[in-house]
Structure 1
Amino acid sequence: MPAIPVRYGRVLEIVGDLLKVHVPPAGSDTAEPPACLGDLAAIASADDGAGTESLAQVLKIDGERVSLQVFAGTKGISTRTKVRFLGHGPRAICSENVLGRIFAGTGELIDNGPALTTDREVEIGSPTVNPVERELGARMIRTNVPMIDVFNTLVESQKIPIFSVAGEPYNQLLGRIGIQADADVVVFGGLGLIYDDYHHFRRAFEDAGVFARTAMFVNFASDPIVERLLVPDMALAVAERFAVEGNKRVLVLLSDMTAFADALKEVGIAMEQVPANRGYTGDLYTQLAQRYEKACNFAGGGSLTILSATTMPGDDVTHPVPDNTGYITEGQFYLREGMIDPFGSLSRLKQHVASKTTREDHKDIMNVMVRLYADSKEAEQKQAMAFELSEHDEQALTFGRLFRERFMDLDVDMTLEAALDLCWQTLAECFRPEQLFMKQQLIDRYYPTETGAGEAAEREGTRVADAAQ
């Protein structure tokens, strides 16, 4: 759509990065409506409307009052500033050329590479896919992270967050999954990143040799807040085109969605919206759902999977951001003390692949391992209170230590099949077959008979005795 040449110059109010201008009714100066919600506008730096222009976006239309969020901030803007509406919303470049490139939240290239001015652009923020055009996800995305592949399998078209707190290595985990996941295209969206985190992601993708299939949209902590709101839409618009038109298996990584929600809150305050729970806007659920519901397994096309990081202020899962996110997504990964917690983590789609498209023992071994790890936590509590421990408690204590070392450590890197074999090996080192309460046919096929039952428990007892001496 061609740019509308009409300029409007009556600035009513400047509040923070918000600019409110008077726009005459449609038909007074132009045959077309001068502004639409979500459209872009160009704001001239000079009073006469000439010179350098900065971008802004229409956030609210109240009669003849139009509120604009200025991307670069309102510093230097006077009340005699001229505004020109462009007639379209923010757009993202969508072609094979975006792979291996880095963009700002506005969609502009920031990697000093060649321009992509001739590439096709698509508007962001399109509606989610009609449910009729969706297919049920039934294909596993391998990550080589045992706590995900074995216990909370990531499935194509799934939307799932990593719940964590500041200081936990959630960005390291997110980057590792992006590198090791068996996806055709990875689209990364960074929201409010400090430079160290940005450098970590870029260096990790480059060192692993996957940068050529990765597109990055980055908003730094020092960048304008409104650009932070555009990053998820930019990343998802590009990912959706690769999935629909290119039949690609696309993985979208977003970090951190709490920064996105905080940006919504700041804009809401500037817009004088009535705050809801803890100061967040009342449409927080809708805003998050509009992004997460982009995850889809397209009928006759590819798939779009969303994995995000969501920090919980004060490790409070009832905080509005994780609380609303939990209602939208299909499970979550809890990252605590540098490990994925098997109790708080959940993948609601894992039943579609466990023992169906994966090895037959996957579902049973997953359930038994978590049950016995729960027994080990109970045994640790009994030990801490100086209660007498049973034989099963002693075995469970040894099992719990091995479980943390072999599976929960984020440095562990192994395929699903290798992890399942190690699960059987760990069970055989700590428990006898009859203690597992599993299908006999699985025990006959996979239980390592050459390993003596209780062998590891005896070694653990010896180790503790030696340490005491």
Structure 2
Amino acid sequence: MIEHTGILEINGDIVKVRAKDVGYEELAIVSNPDGDQSLAQVIRLQDDVVSLQVFSGGKGISTGATVSFTGKPMQTVYSYNMVGRIFSGVGNPIDGGPDLATEREVEVAGPSINPAMRVLANNMIRTNIPMIDIFNTLVESQKIPIFSVAGEPYNQLLARIGIQADADIIVFGGMGLTFDDFHFFTTTFQNEGVFSRTIMFANLASDSIVERVLVPDLALAVAERFAVEEHKRVLVLMTDMTAYADALKEIGVAMDQIPSNRGYMGDLYSKLAFRYERACDFKGAGSVTILTVTTMPGDDVTHPVPDNTGYITEGQFYLHDGVIDPFGSLSRLKQLVIGKKTRDDHSAIMNTMIRFYAGAKEAQKKMAMAFDLSDNDQKLLQFGELFKKRFMDFNVDIRLDEALDLSWRTLAECFSKGELLMKDELVEKYYPEDVHAAADEDMNESEMADSAAEAEDQEVGVASS
């Protein structure tokens, strides 16, 4: 390899040097005079001036350093030996286990997937979380974010989905994680027994931001290989994509790029889309499903990161006040599996439950404003409390068919058949008569007790007179 001397500029993690016959995204080795070496990648070519981002950061690099180009793009190890391991933002093991340098390497951020190899999404990924399985079904090969704000348990939700989802391999990518979050994910996956099928790439908040922007590419490259070559159903979990976008912004500022919206570069959409579009159900092979966390600064959905994400992805899970909000959440692909890969009452139950919960929210407003409540309002309030308790907590672990049965039972505890406004054949097939009969019996006993008490009061009154 030819060594290039005379570094022109060092700006943060960006190093500029003069060189020719260099390719975009080519790897390079920056060597200090004292023998220290750092890995870097080409991120801009302007005439004979090459800009490189140094993975370990520009601190400690002198202008007397030399740069050698390797002639190949960024690559990562791919092997079954990666399963149950933890790697850094550049793919190096950080769990104290053996080095995998001799294993096969695959290209990171390679060409886009051939559209002819894509299969229309038609399989459900069961998570045993009712607010997802019933109301916002996660579909295999879907790309969907969790929209939330700081302080919400979005990482707990992401981990819960990873633990309970029916996937063969889990690939986790953490960007800008605090040590507490990193420790939470590792211990949770280990304690819940899924670490043996999990591959983790972790960039901590104290690590280089250059490594942060590589994490999605490393995770998706490995996930794609497991899906294509091993025919595995791979679930990719990544947090936080806003930290990823902030790292892109910081690198762009160091490169003197002109910002577009709120300091973010104009290519933010294409950067996000290139990563999200790796989600795919491969023809004759496995699939890659992408689930990410996108935090919204100030709970502002018009912020550039969630705003661009919404145009790319197929819905979102909106985590609000510690629960998955049924009104803010959306899965655009759920219609491909509801009633086709699930029970025939799934769609009707989903719509009816949300309709009654919306009514319960209106009844709560009436009660808060001291309006008189009708009998129907009282029923709606009872239903709303049961709905939140039985379905909205994402820690609930219940299979889909059991959740559908529980939905019917909840409806029967609050409403009669005629009040459901559902198809007669579904009501006759699934409505649990024993629940409503027991409720009627309790009501009759209560009415009889009230009548007896009223008669006794009348007898006391007569005797007194």
TM-score (norm: length of structure 1) = 0.92
Does the alignment pair 1:11 with 2:19?
A: no
The letter of the residue matching 2:271 is Q
2:174 matches 1:190? yes
Contact 1:395 1:454 in 2 (8 A): no
Which residue in the other structure is 2:30 paired with? Answer: 43
Residues 217 and 235 of structure 1 are in contact (CA less than 8 Å); yes or no, is this contact kept in structure 2? yes
Q: Does 1:148 align with 2:132?
A: yes
Please state whether the residue corresponding to 2:95 is helix, strand or coil.
Answer: coil
Separation of aligned partners in 1, 2:182 and 2:438: 47
Tell me, what secondary structure is at the counterpart of 2:103? coil
Which of the residues 89, 94, 97 maps onto 1:105? 89
SS of equivalent to 2:73 = coil
For residue 226 of structure 1, what is the amino acid of its counterpart?
V
Q: Is 2:80 aligned against 1:96? A: yes
1:386-401 aligned at under 5 Å gives the runs 386-401=370-385
Distance 1:252 1:76 in 2: 35
Match of 1:429, SS state, is helix
Question: Which protein is bigger by CA-based radius of gyration?
Answer: 2
For residue 417 of structure 1, what is the aligned residue in structure 2?
401
Q: Are residues 1:309 and 2:296 paired? A: no
Q: Is the 8 A contact 2:141 2:287 kept in 1?
A: yes
Identify the residue that residue 325 of structure 1 maps to in structure 2: 309
Distance apart, 1:455 and its partner CA = 4.0
**Structure 2 counterpart of 1:117:** 101
Q: Match of 1:467?
A: none
Q: Which runs of 5 or more structure 2 residues have no equivalent in the other structure?
A: 447-465
Counterpart for residue 177 of structure 1: 161
2:313 alignment partner AA: T
For 1:410, what is the secondary structure of its paired residue? coil
How do residues 41-440 of structure 1 correspond to structure 2 at under 5 angstroms? 41-46=28-33, 51-440=35-424
CA contact (8 A) 1:40 1:85 kept: yes
1:168 partner letter: E
Q: How far does residue 409 in structure 1 lie from its aligned partner after superposition?
A: 1.3
Q: Distance in 1 between matches of 2:317 and 2:60?
A: 45
Report if aligned partners of 2:57, 2:210 keep a CA contact under 8 Å in 1.
Answer: no
Deviation by residue 1:195-239 (Cα, 9 ceiling, x = unmatched): 111111111111111111110000000000010000000000000
AA partner of residue 72 (structure 2): H
2:449 corresponds to: none
Contact kept, 8 Å, 1:164 with 1:312, in 2: the verdict is: yes
Paired amino acid for 2:32: S
Question: 1:36·1:87 contact (CA, 8 Å) conserved in 2?
Answer: yes
The normalised TM-score by structure 2 is 0.93
Distance 1:125 1:368 in 2: 44
Alignment-mate amino acid for residue 422 of structure 2: M
1:167 alignment partner, SS class: coil
Equivalent in the alignment of 1:30? none
For the 8 Å contact 1:431–1:454, the answer to whether it is kept is no
Aligned to 2:462: none
Query: Any conservation in 1 of the 2:125–2:140 contact (CA below 8 Å)?
Result: yes
Alignment-derived partner of residue 456 in structure 2? none
Q: What code does the residue aligned with 1:74 have?
A: G
Gaps of 5+ in 1: 26-32, 463-469
- Whether the 8 Å CA contact 1:428–1:453 is kept in 2: the answer is no
Larger deviation, residues 70-79 vs 269-278: 70-79
CA distance in 1: counterparts of 2:241 and 2:111, whole angstroms: 20
Larger deviation, residues 391-400 vs 225-234: 391-400
Residue equivalent to 1:465: none
- Within the alignment, does 1:22 sit opposite 2:9 as a pair? no
Cα separation, partners in 2 of 1:114 and 1:398, compared to 1, 3 Å = same
Aligned-partner Cα distance in 2 for 1:262–1:89: 24
Residue deviations 1:405-451 (CA, integer Å, cap 9, x gap): 00001221100011101100100011111111101111101111112
Q: Which letter maps to 1:324?
A: N
2: distance between equivalents of 1:52 and 1:184?
A: 41
SS in 1 for 2:425: helix
String of CA shifts for 1:68-94, please: whole Å, max 9, x gaps: 111122222211111111111221111
Residue number in structure 1 paired with 2:457 = none
The answer (yes or no) to whether the contact 2:32–2:64 under 8 Å persists in 1 is no
- Report Cα offsets for 1:159-185 as digits up to 9, x if no partner: 000000011111111111111111000
Partner residue in 2 for 1:466: none
Per-residue deviation at 1:249? Answer: 0.4
Q: 1:432 touches 1:454 (CA, 8 Å); kept in 2?
A: no
CA contact (8 A) 2:237 2:290 kept: yes
Q: Is the 8 A contact 1:189 1:255 kept in 2?
A: yes
Deviations 1:267-323 (A, max 9, x none): 010011110110101010000000000000001110100000110000011100001
Give the Cα–Cα distance (whole angstroms) in 1 for the partners of residues 192 and 149 of structure 2.
27
CA RMSD of aligned residues (A): 1.4
Residue identity matched to 2:385: R
Corresponding residue SS for 1:88:
strand
Report SS of the residue matched to 1:251: strand
Q: 2:315 and 2:395 mapped to 1: Cα distance?
A: 23
The residue number in structure 2 matching 1:28 is none
Q: Does the aligned pair in 1 maintain the 2:77–2:104 contact within 8 Å?
A: yes
